[in-house]
Chain A
Amino acid sequence: MKMANTLRSAARALRRNKMRSFLTMLGIIIGVAAVIAMLALGQGAEYSVKQQISALGTNVLIIFPGSQQQGTVRFGAGSVTTLTEDDARAITEECPAVAYVSPGSRAGGQVVAGNLNWGTIVEGTGADYLFIRQWAVEYGEFYTEPDVKAAAKVCVLGGTVADALFPDATPVGQTIRIRNVPVKVIGVLARKGQNAMGMDQDDVILAPYTTVLRRMSHFPYLRQILVSAVSTEAIPEAQRQVTELLRQRHKITPWAEDDFTIRNQADIVATATETTKILTVLLAGIASVSLFVGGIGIMNIMLVSVTERTREIGIRMAVGARGTDILAQFLVEALALSLIGGLLGIGLGLAGSSLITNLAQWPTIITPLSVALSFGFAFVVGIFFGFYPARKAANLNPIEALRYE
């Protein structure tokens, strides 16, 4: 039989049992929609993790104390304490490929302004921190090198902290208490908003790292050193110079391991996206189980349909239909169910993804590949689960089929 006629007869057979066809498709619709939405979520997460890491600033290198551990970035360094202020100063002076250096320290705790208080993180930084992070001050000013040298009791508030502590007044010029240390607010940062994990990047207080070390955390070593290379091309050179300098300063013998770890942005992006990729695959894998179950639904209905239409098959065979004609007829019906279901599922998946973005504020990204992938999967499911019932129909004996009650 000609393909166009096969298609027409399949369309008619499916229309004849509209409700049943729809319910059968529903399995595929939900499956495809779930796959698309999960891929969109995963890829959205991946994208915003990348974004967030890029938000660190371009050309950034982060130096952590502690030796390299395979495949992992040690954000929470504390046990190994080898980076000193002198190391940071030496990098500034002796590494020509390095543009800016910002030693880092950190303190957490309650911040009080008048009768309001707020729990947040105090990041200790150098004066050049904003250049490295490509961040800006919105009101007031940032602390300077002399402030850092003097461990001045000054700070700059993130937008969220400013709102929380000074809902009515202007923060600049006010004094707040961080761990009972009175600190003067000299500026408010421009807002950055949420990062990929939904963390508020404006919920932070910046202060000279010296202030944090000496007056708040009372800890002699640096948590990290943030460095930017003079250009993107200079990143490897900067990394090499810093490594050489620190090994020399730390008196590491040629065969011994570094007692510090340098991560560049590419490393961090790679590690983070690796994690989100696994997440994406996992989500999509779970979603595709429902697509598989939808396929079983198609097989079930097609088997019922073959049984119900045994006489029809017998009549068709009696007037000259070959086994392949019958096979094609039922396979096309199964495929039509799965492909129409697939198309509707794509629609539902797109709608669902934008709903997730709107309601939960999670970023979702739909790529043509994920649409093609899930639709292709629906096609394979249709062929796979449609084949057995179709073959069963095609192998019927015409006489037995005609006699079937």
Chain B
Amino acid sequence: MDPIPAADSPLIRIEGLVKTYSLGEVEVPALRGLSLEVQRGEFVAIMGASGSGKSTFMNLLGCLDVPSRGSYHLEGVDVGRLSRDQLARIRNRRIGFVFQGFNLLSRTSALENVELPLLYDTVSNAERHRRAAAALERVGLGDRMRHYPNQLSGGQQQRVAIARALVNDPSIVLADEPTGNLDSRTSVEILGLFQQLNAQGITVILVTHEPDIAQFAGRHIVFRDGRIRSDRANPSPRRAAEVLADMPESEDEEEAA
């Protein structure tokens, strides 16, 4: 293992990444050899047809799964050589994950949902409350801390999930179709949040089906059949704050819920 996160090494370096699921006798190739690098501070949008391997790729990036072949270096560390517990630690300290389906704990308040990653860290109770509250403030939910997920709109739930993803000051936020269940105005608001995080130096990688959403990212990667079909920079990403100002007020977040 190379524990030195050399400042000049890319945040993510992937070489020949292959993931094959085996369903009994049948082998399902989901990723067929990917290579790419992501630098610190990038905002990447991943697109591609359904079944092209985007979620599989995100799960590997998020250390939730291990590749069948190929290597993945995160901050210079070869993730493939880490133990289950070390992977858990990386998920806890380095990565924030946002899912399409929010994945909040039900019957658990927004604040406690956000505190969850800190429970698995060495943080005092007071510090944990403070940081979780600050993260909720940051996503604009300072007044909803005691609410349960079923008392929140979809957009608010996703913001809780984002607050949970940031509470541990991760170096990357991975979001797999974070706006898939949201209306367009709420989606832009969420993208605005990601842009803010990105402006603060957090690398954001997001999967989306909607080209409109991808427009907010600075780099577009398109998957097809487990390979990268195209990978190009978006020199002029849209600014969510501006888009939001032009949108009609009637499409209010509360109604969308």
A residues in contact (CB < 8 Å) with B: 1-2, 5, 9, 16, 311-312, 314-325, 397-399, 402
A312-B105, A315-B105, A399-B64 known; A322-B121 Cβ under 8 A: no
Which of chain B's residues has its CB closest to A314's CB? B103
Q: Are A320 and B103 in contact (CB under 8 A)?
A: no
Check B249 for interface membership: any CB of A closer than 8 A: no
Q: Are B62 and A318 in contact (CB under 8 A)?
A: yes
Q: Point out the residues of chain A lying under 8 angstroms from B116, CB to CB.
A: 315-316, 319
**Roughly how many angstroms separate A16 CA and B105 CA in the complex, as a whole number?**
13
CB distance from A318 to the nearest CB of B (A): 5
- Given A2-B119, A320-B93, A325-B120, 4 more contacts at CB 8 Å? A322-B84, A323-B84, A397-B65, A402-B103
Q: Are B97 and A318 in contact (CB under 8 A)?
A: yes
What are 13 A-to-B residue pairs whose CB atoms are below 8 Å? A5-B119, A314-B103, A315-B103, A317-B64, A317-B91, A318-B103, A319-B97, A321-B120, A322-B88, A323-B85, A324-B85, A325-B120, A402-B99
Q: Are A322 and B120 in contact (CB under 8 A)?
A: yes
B residues in contact (CB < 8 Å) with A: 59, 62, 64-65, 84-85, 88-89, 91-93, 97, 99, 103-105, 107, 116-117, 119-121, 125, 164, 168
Which of chain A's residues has its CB closest to B59's CB? A399
Q: Point out the residues of chain B lying under 8 angstroms from A316, CB to CB.
A: 116, 120
Q: Point out the residues of chain B lying under 8 angstroms from A2, CB to CB.
A: 119
Q: Are B91 and A319 in contact (CB under 8 A)?
A: yes
CB distance from B22 to the nearest CB of A (A): 13
Q: Are B64 and A319 in contact (CB under 8 A)?
A: no
Q: Point out the residues of chain B lying under 8 angstroms from A399, CB to CB.
A: 59, 64-65
CB distance from B95 to the nearest CB of A (A): 9
Q: Are B92 and A320 in contact (CB under 8 A)?
A: yes
Interface centre among B65, B99, B119 (most CB of A within 10 A): B119
Interface centre among A317, A319, A325 (most CB of B within 10 A): A319
CB distance from B107 to the nearest CB of A (A): 7
Q: Are B105 and A320 in contact (CB under 8 A)?
A: no
Q: Which of B62, B84, B103, B119 contacts A311 (CB 8 A)?
A: B103
Q: Point out the residues of chain B lying under 8 angstroms from A325, CB to CB.
A: 120
Q: Are B64 and A402 in contact (CB under 8 A)?
A: yes
Q: Are A398 and B64 in contact (CB under 8 A)?
A: yes
**Roughly how many angstroms separate A322 CA and B164 CA in the complex, as a whole number?**
17
CB distance from A8 to the nearest CB of B (A): 10
Interface centre among A318, A321, A323 (most CB of B within 10 A): A318
**Roughly how many angstroms separate A297 CA and B164 CA in the complex, as a whole number?**
36
Q: Point out the residues of chain B lying under 8 angstroms from A314, CB to CB.
A: 103
Q: Are B119 and A322 in contact (CB under 8 A)?
A: no
**Roughly how many angstroms separate A201 CA and B104 CA in the complex, as a whole number?**
73
CB distance from B218 to the nearest CB of A (A): 26
Q: Point out the residues of chain A lying under 8 angstroms from B89, CB to CB.
A: 320, 322
**Roughly how many angstroms separate A228 CA and B84 CA in the complex, as a whole number?**
78
CB-based closest 5 A-B pairs = A320-B92, A319-B117, A322-B88, A320-B120, A322-B85
Q: Are A319 and B59 in contact (CB under 8 A)?
A: no
**Roughly how many angstroms separate A318 CA and B64 CA in the complex, as a whole number?**
7
Interface centre among A1, A311, A321, A322 (most CB of B within 10 A): A322
Q: Point out the residues of chain A lying under 8 angstroms from B85, CB to CB.
A: 322-324
CB distance from A108 to the nearest CB of B (A): 75
Which of chain A's residues has its CB closest to B164's CB? A319
Q: Point out the residues of chain B lying under 8 angstroms from A312, CB to CB.
A: 105
**Roughly how many angstroms separate A252 CA and B120 CA in the complex, as a whole number?**
85
CB distance from B181 to the nearest CB of A (A): 16
**Roughly how many angstroms separate A25 CA and B93 CA in the complex, as a whole number?**
38
**Roughly how many angstroms separate A311 CA and B105 CA in the complex, as a whole number?**
9
Which of chain B's residues has its CB closest to A309's CB? B105
**Roughly how many angstroms separate A399 CA and B125 CA in the complex, as a whole number?**
29
CB distance from A224 to the nearest CB of B (A): 76
Which of chain B's residues has its CB closest to A402's CB? B103
Q: Are B88 and A320 in contact (CB under 8 A)?
A: yes
Q: Are B103 and A1 in contact (CB under 8 A)?
A: no
Q: Point out the residues of chain A lying under 8 angstroms from B93, CB to CB.
A: 320
A399-B65, A402-B103 known; A320-B97 Cβ under 8 A: no
Q: Point out the residues of chain A lying under 8 angstroms from B88, CB to CB.
A: 317, 320-323
Q: Point out the residues of chain B lying under 8 angstroms from A318, CB to CB.
A: 62, 64, 91, 97, 103
CB distance from A166 to the nearest CB of B (A): 76
Interface centre among A5, A16, A312, A315 (most CB of B within 10 A): A315
Q: Point out the residues of chain A lying under 8 angstroms from B65, CB to CB.
A: 397-399
Q: Are A320 and B64 in contact (CB under 8 A)?
A: no
**Roughly how many angstroms separate A224 CA and B222 CA in the complex, as a whole number?**
107
Q: Point out the residues of chain B lying under 8 angstroms from A397, CB to CB.
A: 65
Q: Point out the residues of chain A lying under 8 angstroms from B117, CB to CB.
A: 319-320
Which of chain A's residues has its CB closest to B60's CB? A399
CB distance from A273 to the nearest CB of B (A): 55
Which of chain A's residues has its CB closest to B108's CB? A12
Q: Which of B84, B92, B107, B125 contacts A319 (CB 8 A)?
A: B92
Which of chain B's residues has its CB closest to A316's CB? B116
